[in-house]
Structure 1
């Protein structure tokens, strides 16, 4: 019988009975929070994890205890990846391709949220450049390493509901900057990237999905003041009450990483391919105002996904 998981499921519960011995999985953002927990859980079930991080010293400290929990000969290999620098992204991808060892899964976990207006080293708006374009380049450059039956798992967010992508002004050159609009654009882009990557690779047995891990207190919210956090939670709860839905509640880190490992190695590939997931299930399309759950239609639109892919290639100066 298929096990049913939900918002309170943890990584250990989701992976109970799963043997990942011999699997090789890339996880970005292994210097804190969800990335470290994702790596720990996968290693505890035998997977070899390649952990990517901008700050390798920080990642070494954050992952220092993971070997002790590893099973079945699982290992952790750290690689340097600064998603806000295409030079770093390309160097990382080139090194992985030169190494030649294949991957079973890529989990694009790293990201930034609601930061002040700034630019990446290549002049892109920081959230779109880091959360989307950095992953777009590294994933596409190493796509040949994904085994048939492999998967791409993009961490998006319910924050995709804040904004659709703006293909005419992705860097806020003509639009007043708003940190939540920028975050929403980047998280919508994460979903659309998965939609188009899935379309392009499903013929080879490779599938892609995107997901919302839930609200978790991690370093991702480093730019938010306590007052801003309180205002955001209050606004969410107002809409939840109006919809007769449960009030806001933080997930633990093991609960937050559960949907990542579920989508990566537990869920049916046909169920999640080209879709958006939350709380360890495929989300429904929701277009009503004030609904926190579900996915906006624009984030799954296949033509929109193709247009974003073309715009992304134009921006990074590379065709895939």
Structure 2
């Protein structure tokens, strides 16, 4: 009988009895929070892990207690990657391609949230450029290394419910910048990217899915001012004034990543959005705090974003 997992399940509970020996997995954002925990639990279950980080020295410090926990001498390697730079994304991707060592799972975990208005190295709005376009280029570069049966996971957020993508003004050139609106756009883009990627790769037995880890207090919230925190709580407040916002600890937050990647059936999660260790239902009720908005799973919207992303990064990816 398949075990049932939920919002309070931890990474170790989800992977109990799972042997990942022989698996090679890539995790972006391996220098803090969910990334470190994801690397830890995968290595502890025998997987060979490649972690990426903008600051390798910081990643080594963050992983200092993780390295000894790797089972059976499973290696943990690090690659420099700044997702706010397409040059860095291409360089890191090309370095891994040159190694010609295939991957079983890619977990696009890294990201920024609700930061002040700014631009990436390439002139993109910071959150859309980092959370979506950086991963768009990096992951697509690595598609040739994906084994048959592999999976790609993109970490999105319940924040996708704040806003659909704006393909006419992705960089807020004509729109007043709001930190959470920009975050919502980028998180919707993470879901749509998985939808489009899944369509392109499922004929090869490779599936892509997106997921919401839950609300976790990590470095992701470094830009949250008291005003922004109140805005966030207001979105989770019921008509009676009670806030339904609940925080998970880090092992609980990373649990949906490992559930989606290693426990759930690939055909069940492919092209879908997961939360709390299950596949979420489409829910367009703006008063509800669960489920995924229909616009985030719209295949036509996903294809439009793919075309716009290729235009923005100046590179086409023919994966069919």
Query: TM-score scaled to structure 1, two decimals?
Result: 0.97
Distance 1:227 1:305 in 2: 33
Asked whether the equivalents of residues 21 and 73 of structure 1 are also in contact (C-alpha less than 8 Å), the reply is: no
What corresponds to 1:319 in structure 2? 316
**Which residue of 247, 251, 255 maps to 2:248?**
251
Distance 2:57 2:238 in 1: 42
Distance 2:286 2:309 in 1: 29
Distance 2:200 2:231 in 1: 41
Distance 1:292 1:112 in 2: 22
Aligned pairs, how many? 317
Distance 1:232 1:77 in 2: 36
Distance 2:212 2:137 in 1: 22
Asked whether the equivalents of residues 52 and 79 of structure 1 are also in contact (C-alpha less than 8 Å), the reply is: yes
What corresponds to 1:134 in structure 2? 134
Give the deviation of 1:304 after TM superposition: 0.5
Q: How does 1:212-291 map to 2 (within 5 A)?
A: 212-238=212-238, 247-291=244-288
Task: Identify unmatched segments of 5+ residues in structure 1.
Answer: none
**Which residue of 303, 307, 311 maps to 1:306?**
303
Q: How does 1:174-189 map to 2 (within 5 A)?
A: 174-189=174-189
Instruction: Find the residue that maps to 1:237 and give its secondary structure.
Output: coil
Task: Identify unmatched segments of 5+ residues in structure 2.
Answer: none
Q: How does 1:111-150 map to 2 (within 5 A)?
A: 111-150=111-150
Q: CA RMSD in A?
A: 1.3
Q: How does 1:10-89 map to 2 (within 5 A)?
A: 10-89=10-89
Check 1:174–1:226 CA distance in 2 against 1; reply closer, same or farther (3 A cut): closer
Query: TM-score scaled to structure 2, two decimals?
Result: 0.97
Distance 2:250 2:235 in 1: 23
Distance 2:30 2:122 in 1: 23
What corresponds to 1:294 in structure 2? 291
